[in-house]
Structure 1
Amino acid sequence: MDTLRRHHRYYDLILTAFVVVLLCSNFIGAGKAAVVNLPYFGELPFGGGILFFPISYFFGDILTEVYGYAYDRRAVWAGFAALLFAAIMAQIVIALPVAPGEYMANYQHGLETVFGNSWRIALASMFSFWCGSFTNSFVLAKMKIWTQGRYLWMRTIGSTAVGELVDSSFFYMLAFYGIWPTHEVIAVALAQYALKTGWEVLATPLTYWVVNFLKRKENEDYYDIHTNFTPFRVKV
């Protein structure tokens, strides 16, 4: 049975999309604190990456629900490795001697502004995402057994709420404490948690459609009854 589970038509595509979303949302969007003006609430600060980062949890829910915890665990480690490589590459590129000229001097300044803190963002992201993602997957896998595969909406929303709580509790404090004002760090972290969880609620119809499509096409609906839930392995 395990051998048959190793050959899936769509797993590699989902894993690739997962890693791309993780990289882009952390290196393009995470460093920008944006603001939206809401009626009755006033200005609400949020991290730019919040618009896209929840998609990684969307993929995580799908991987765990369809293929099982072990396949999501492998995807998390792939994302972890990609973030580490991107952080190292950013620091090497910044450290390279700059060619003469005003354009390259301005370009170097832009790189340092955007990616100069990438090592801290990457470490914070890797740690918080690693903790949050495995928590999300574990809760979803256990809830699937407890509910006997029913109430997918409750499982995806509930697991995301727990996973995002862990993630949001770590990321902004580790990445931006001492750089942003403390009150802004806390405000953005709270907004991130609320918006990410809300994103999962809004994405529920799409989650149902994708999960049902994959279960039908892959002929897979895995239950993690005898799964080893240690996060320290990539074997499926």
Structure 2
Amino acid sequence: MSTTRRHYRYYDLLLTAFVVVLLCSNFIGAGKAAVIDLPYFGTCVFGGGILFFPIAYFFGDVLTEVYGYAYDRRAVWAGFAALAFAAIMAQIVISLPAAPGAYMANYQHGLETVFGNSWRIALASMISFWCGSFMNSFVLAKFKILTHGRFLWMRTIGSTAMGELIDSSLFYMLAFYGIWPNQEVIQVAAAQYVLKTSWEVLATPLTYFLVNFLKRKENEDYYDIDTNFTPFRVKV
């Protein structure tokens, strides 16, 4: 018996925003190690992607909570496809012969510096975020059933903590091992984990607002009772 797929008013907008954030997190901030002085903790080294990446997990929580695991899985694969395309095109543009002149020579050097490692960053991101995001969505969906939809704050923070642990551990080892000093890789990965999870805690009021808004507007509050949780499909 065939079923008719529901049309959601805001899902496409959320999916687009998710893909944009994922691209920005990898091609704008991921390659930069920055520092900040924190009270009582001293100097903290962190990756510039912290400005973007927690937002991707925020969208993952919202998509899973409102639309279900399958719709978040579809968004993750859309983001991966965009990352792969961007990484391939970056390498093609870099490999094109530069026009003569000092300006273009400097420009080519800048491209190679910023995007020369983009293939490795994209690959590391796809592996780490694939593992971390699906763990986040799986835990959130399962605990929604166990708690009968209660304690959203506990479910979003707990699922993000588990997903980010996998994500941060894998990403910096895969992307920057052998490029950055080992101590810096570990330090940045640990800082990213703490900062990303803390961001989820601070974003809890916004999560509640957006989830409640979407549930009301979409007339949807999905429970993944009979969901196939395999990550290897895009069908919803």
Q: Would you call these one fold, judging by a TM-score over 0.5?
A: yes
Q: TM-score with structure 1 length normalisation?
A: 0.98
Q: TM-score with structure 2 length normalisation?
A: 0.98
Task: Name the residue aligned to 2:56.
Answer: 56
Distance 1:53 1:110 in 2: 24
Distance 1:46 1:39 in 2: 16
Quote the RMSD (CA, aligned, Å). Answer: 1.2
Distance 2:6 2:59 in 1: 18
Report how far residue 5 of structure 1 moved: 5.0
Classify the secondary structure of the residue corresponding to 2:62.
helix
Distance 1:123 1:216 in 2: 38
* Identical amino acids, percent of aligned pairs: 86
Task: Name the residue aligned to 1:34.
Answer: 34
Report how far residue 6 of structure 1 moved: 2.7
Query: Following superposition of structure 1 onto structure 2, how do residues 1-236 of structure 1 map, counting pairs within 5 Å?
Result: 3=3, 5-236=5-236
Whichever residue aligns with residue 64 of structure 1, its letter is T
Off by >3 Å, runs of 4+ in structure 1: 2-5
Distance 1:65 1:164 in 2: 18
Distance 1:42 1:199 in 2: 19
Classify the secondary structure of the residue corresponding to 2:21.
helix
Distance 1:206 1:59 in 2: 11
Distance 2:156 2:39 in 1: 29
Classify the secondary structure of the residue corresponding to 1:224.
coil
Report how far residue 115 of structure 1 moved: 0.3
Change (3 A) 1:5 1:147: farther
Report how far residue 3 of structure 1 moved: 4.8
Distance 1:27 1:102 in 2: 25
Structure 2: 5+ residue runs without aligned partners?
none
Whichever residue aligns with residue 37 of structure 2, its letter is N
Q: Deviations over 1:44-89 (max 9, x none)?
A: 0000011111000000000000000000000000001000001000
Classify the secondary structure of the residue corresponding to 2:46.
strand
Whichever residue aligns with residue 45 of structure 1, its letter is V
Q: Deviations over 1:139-176 (max 9, x none)?
A: 00000000000000000000000000010110001000
